[in-house]
Amino acid sequence: MKKVIDKTILAVLVASLLTGCAANTVPTAAPALTVEDTLAGISVREKVGQLFIIRPDSLDLALSQENINDSKTEGSTKLTDAMKKTLEQYPVGGVAVFKKNVVDPKQLTAFIKDLQAASQITLFTGIDEEGGRVARLANHAEFITPQYDSAAAVGETGDSKNAKEMGASIGGYISEYGLNLDFAPDADVNTNPDNTVIGDRAFSSDPAVAADMVAAAIEGFHSSGVMCCIKHFPGHGDTDTDTHYGCATTTKTWDEMLACEMLPFKAGIAAGTDMVMSAHITVPNVTSDGLPASISNEMITDKLRGEIGYDGVVITDALAMEAITDFFSSEESAVMAIQAGADILLLPENFTNAFDAVVAAVENGTITEARLDESVARILTLKAKYNLM
């Protein structure tokens, strides 16, 4: 992107010189590149790169997949020359920072700045900062931030202004370090008492309360200039399995989901959420393909886009989770997610294999370039909205 802009500026300057060098000539500023201009000016490989948000560690090809995906191992905390080279070869669209990538505020700010400087198109720089137990910075000893017990505690107040304040506060402090995307708020409805993975991450067991809180939280995030992502579509609240470790299922019908799970998602979409994250849960009474929602065309294209009417960016949940890796290779899940209607592939288990598989799928026609352009246009439009182009 930066090279494209440089060439545009050069062309304008050359044109000015050719038309004369009169002393009173006023230089003309280069016109801003549109999404269409950018899309037309990048290669298939660069387009495919925009579909990926990865861990920074994945840029270090010397690391094993086990090391990269294990939150307890030492993480990448600075950009090395080898990582820069990988970013040139695999020009991804974003990175997601985890606690193991963070030392202190100064380090994090420098790390994000260096990653952005090394990327031709500005990166999504994301983090899971929900407030409560899922908060990479608030739960880090070196960061002094506002503290929140949980989304559920905010929901229990019954006042959506508190959810807006939480979103504004969290968005405000993560943006100080160069982070521009929060994988929050959680739009699940906590209806299953045996659900340990969601629980108090959801605002409420009452779908109407959850809907009000989700919409208000989005307003708060946006007031701080940070993008947000509601999750986990079509609703992880009525499951009893953690998809990090296995397949989760809900037996609800679509009508039941419309009366409960869909209310917060509809409210979040109406409030202008920037992304919707699809979950690795199967819904056998809604879809016939037997696939997790994150790679199901019936769930993403037919239900989310068709019936709910959402035309924004769809991002998968992390594709390195065992609900996916137990059944599909990195290559398979990446291609299937794009075919299903997803736009962004979050944290594939082996991102280079996944990346190369999507490139090959476009080149051999398994994924049409028109389908690729559809997702890249959504992504670039979102980046342009936040002045990231």
298-301 contacts, C-beta under 8 A, 24 or more apart: 299/233, 299/234, 299/340, 300/340, 300/341, 300/342, 301/340, 301/341
* Residue of 37, 206, 242, 244 marked active site: 244
Instruction: Tell me: cis bond preceding 193? Omega within 30 of 0 counts.
Output: no
For residue 236, indicate whether it is catalytic: no
Strand, helix or coil for residue 94: strand
Q: How far apart are CA 350 and CA 20, in angstroms?
A: 55
Amino acid sitting at position 344: I
108, 177 contact by CB (below 8 A): yes
- Is 38 buried (19+), middle (13-18) or exposed (0-12) by CB count in 10 A? buried
**Cα 76 from Cα 95, distance rounded (Å):** 12
Based on the residue annotation, tell me whether 356 is a catalytic residue of this protein.
no
Dihedral of CA atoms 311, 312, 317, 323 in degrees, nearest 10, equals 10
Q: Is residue 147 exposed (0-12), middle (13-18) or buried (19+ Cβ within 10 Å)?
A: exposed
Rounded CA gap, 278 and 379, in Å? 16
Distance, CA of 245 to CA of 320 (rounded, Å): 10
DSSP string, 331-357: HHHHHHHHHHT--BEE--SSHHHHHHH
**What end-to-end distance do the CA atoms of the chain give, in Å?**
7
CA-wise closest residue to 350 among 320, 327, 321: 320
Burial of 3 (0-12, 13-18, 19+ CB in 10 A): exposed
**Which residue in 188, 212, 317, 343 is the catalytic one?**
317
DSSP 104: -
Catalytic residues: 244, 317
